């Protein structure tokens, strides 16, 4: 959540046609098997216009809730970096979600929110990794596009997994937490030379600002936030509002 009425997630979480009335958002959930959180109706869904399919550029979406939400100890916003913020290779960040705990292994009850700490991987280095043992991919083909950021380990170890899509890659930044990426795609879970790929939020900071003009982006040099100006963001990695494809975007039947 980036504002009392706005949420950022991945474009591939939605099925065309994008009908807001088909969705509800669960805010503040922690254990999915234990009823909790606040259900909110959706008034609008904005998919970035360059998004085409899973794995393409533009895998970002904005959700506008029907009504503003009251922030609580469990529902709080995260900062959005402006386009000049750089997340250097090796910087340690966190991914949180309720996805599978291993390839094909679902999160067991009570389905408690999980987190994993991962280092940022340079875009060029990540693209090189995806070419290793990948004979179907031409050496001249760039897989990791300009608007993507990677996180993980060369030898696998830890990763986001199926069911985490749309969730946050959050990095500590001068006392606050910035949304560096949105879980987008990958090849399996925690496989060597196949780190998780995320939508790079700085590539779309200005696009977000178009829909939320009053929202203040976080610059590379941070000043003390003013909680009265609508852009205050929280300092805990576990209680950001997470909007995940599988569990929190409820398609109404």
Buried b (16+ CB within 10 A) or exposed e, 128-157: ebbbeeeeeeeeeeebbbebbbbbbeeeee
Which H or E run contains 12?
none
DSSP strands (E only) in 48-192: 61-65, 92-97, 114-121, 148-151, 168-173, 176-185
- Sheet strands side by side (includes 6-9): 6-9, 61-65, 38-47, 23-27, 249-251
Q: How many whole angstroms separate alpha carbon 213 and alpha carbon 209?
A: 5
Indicate which residues carry an active-site annotation: 12, 59, 165
Q: How many helices (H) and strands (E) does the chain have?
A: 2, 11
The span from the CA of 239 to the CA of 253, in Å, is 29
Residues 6+ apart with CB under 8 A from 17: none
SS3 129: helix
């Amino acid at each position: 959540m980036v504002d009392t009425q706005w949420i950022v997630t991945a474009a591939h979480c939605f099925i065309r046609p994008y009908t807001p009335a088909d969705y509800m958002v669960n805010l503040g959930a922690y254990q999915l098997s234990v009823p909790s959180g606040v259900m909110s109706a959706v008034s609008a869904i904005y998919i970035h216009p360059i998004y085409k399919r899973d794995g393409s550029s533009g895998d970002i979406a904005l959700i506008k809730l029907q009504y503003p939400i009251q922030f609580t100890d469990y529902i709080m916003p995260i900062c959005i970096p402006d386009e000049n913020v750089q997340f250097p290779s090796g910087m340690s960040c966190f991914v949180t979600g309720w996805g599978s705990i291993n390839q094909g292994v679902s999160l067991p009850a009570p389905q408690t929110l999980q987190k994993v700490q991962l280092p940022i991987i340079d875009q060029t280095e990540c693209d090189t990794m995806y070419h290793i043992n990948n004979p179907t991919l031409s050496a001249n083909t760039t897989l990791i596009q300009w608007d993507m950021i990677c996180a993980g380990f060369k030898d696998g170890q830890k990763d986001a997994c199926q069911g985490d899509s749309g969730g946050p890659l959050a990095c500590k930044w001068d006392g606050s937490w910035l949304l560096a990426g949105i879980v987008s795609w990958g090849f399996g879970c925690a496989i060597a030379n196949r780190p998780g790929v995320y939508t790079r939020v700085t590539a779309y900071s200005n696009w977000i600002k178009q829909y939320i003009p009053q929202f203040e982006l976080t610059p590379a040099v941070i000043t003390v936030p003013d909680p009265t100006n609508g852009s205050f963001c929280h300092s805990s990695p576990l209680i950001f509002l997470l909007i995940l494809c599988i569990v929190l975007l409820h398609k109404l039947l």
